């Protein structure tokens, strides 16, 4: 009997250890959008998410951050086109929107020139810029990358906020966006 109790305890410990290891593994998260489509993001190990869904069925904002450790924030807002609208969002217009954002924050940043870079994703292209806050307060982030990326029929607007020593966070966040997947259900057409 004693051997079976020990075996059961060891099996239980192995199950708990396996569960803890899974929590630290990368995970694909699926976000059901109000237009009934799905956005998939691959989150690195140690990242957590929170979805802020505004009332009325508008685009949600997905906030990504660390499960523990030094704080950082990544905001992703997926926007879909209105099926009844005739307007088509074109890539040059998105690039211009990001250039305008860069121009608006220039008085607050350390850089004299904010380079708008192309961002190539698996399912579309976009643009972004990175900037350094000239004089961040103690409760603010020092670095910001902001941009837009087409992912299938979705437009992902994003902001990445970090501090010193978090260079890999922006790289990981851009990678999450570049590998994002939009799954259309067609249910918004009913």
Per-residue pLDDT tens for 127-155? 999 999 999 999 999 999 999 999 999 99
pLDDT at 10 over 90: no
Burial class (CB within 10 angstroms; exposed 0-12, middle 13-18, buried 19+) of 99: middle
Does a structural domain hold residue 83?
Answer: yes
Lookup: tokens for 70: 């030094």
- What does the DSSP 8-state code read for residue 190? -
Distance, CA of 158 to CA of 63 (rounded, Å): 10
pLDDT at 17: 36
State residue 85's pLDDT score: 59
pLDDT in tens, 46-63: 999 999 999 888 899 999
Residue 178 pLDDT > 70, yes or no?
A: yes
Using the predicted structure, report yes or no on whether residue 3 has a pLDDT greater than 60. Answer: no
- Does a structural domain hold residue 63? yes
Sheet containing strand 181-183, edge to edge, reads 27-32, 38-43, 181-183
With respect to residue 4, please indicate whether it lies within any of the assigned structural domains.
Answer: no
Q: What is the mean pLDDT of residues 6-23?
A: 37
* pLDDT averaged over every residue in the chain: 85
Tell me, yes or no, whether 55 lies in a domain. Answer: yes
In a domain, 7, yes or no: no
Cα–Cα distance, 47 to 37 (Å, whole number): 23
pLDDT at 57: 83
Look up residue 82 and give its two tokens. Answer: 């209105």
Which pLDDT score, from 0 to 100, does residue 88 have? 55
Q: Which two tokens stand for residue 83?
A: 């099926």
Contact call for residues 158 and 127 (beta carbons, < 8 A): no
pLDDT value at 8 more than 50:
no
Between 54-58, 68-72, 124-128, the lowest mean confidence (pLDDT) is in 54-58
Is residue 160 predicted with pLDDT exceeding 90? yes
Please check whether residue 52 is in contact with residue 73, taking contact to mean a CB–CB distance below 8 angstroms. Answer: no
From 41-45, 89-93, 120-124, the region with the lowest mean pLDDT:
89-93
Q: What is the pTM of this model?
A: 0.83
Question: What confidence category does residue 81 fall into, taking pLDDT thresholds of 50, 70 and 90?
Answer: confident
Residue 1 belongs to some domain of the structure? no
**Does residue 5 lie within any of the structural domains?**
no
Alpha helices (H) along 60-158? 91-105
Q: Can you give the CATH number for the domain in which 89 is found?
A: 2.60.120.1690
Q: In what order do the strands lie in the sheet with 154-162?
A: 47-52, 61-66, 73-80, 154-162, 143-151, 124-132, 117-121
Q: What residues make up the domain containing 136?
A: 26-189
Q: What is the distance of C-alpha 120 from the center of its chain?
A: 15
19 in a structural domain? no
How many structural domains is the chain composed of? 1
Helix (H) or strand (E) holding 21: helix 2-23
């Amino acid at each position: 009997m004693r051997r079976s109790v020990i075996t059961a305890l060891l099996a239980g410990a192995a199950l708990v250890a396996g569960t803890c290891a899974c929590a630290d593994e990368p995970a694909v998260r699926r976000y059901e959008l109000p237009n009934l489509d799905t956005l998939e993001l691959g989150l690195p190990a140690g990242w957590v998410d929170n979805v802020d869904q505004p009332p009325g069925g508008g685009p949600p904002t997905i906030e990504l951050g660390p499960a523990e450790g030094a704080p950082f924030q990544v905001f992703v807002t997926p926007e879909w086109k209105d099926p009844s609208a005739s307007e088509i969002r074109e890539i040059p217009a998105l690039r211009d929107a990001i250039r305008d954002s860069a121009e608006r924050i220039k008085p607050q940043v350390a850089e004299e020139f904010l380079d708008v870079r192309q961002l190539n994703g698996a399912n579309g292209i976009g643009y972004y810029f990175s900037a350094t806050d000239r004089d961040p307060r103690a409760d603010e982030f020092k670095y910001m990358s902001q941009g837009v990326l087409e992912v299938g029929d979705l437009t992902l607007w994003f902001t990445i906020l970090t501090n010193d020593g978090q260079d890999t966070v922006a790289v990981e966040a851009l990678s999450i966006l570049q590998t994002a997947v939009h799954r259309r259900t067609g249910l918004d057409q009913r």
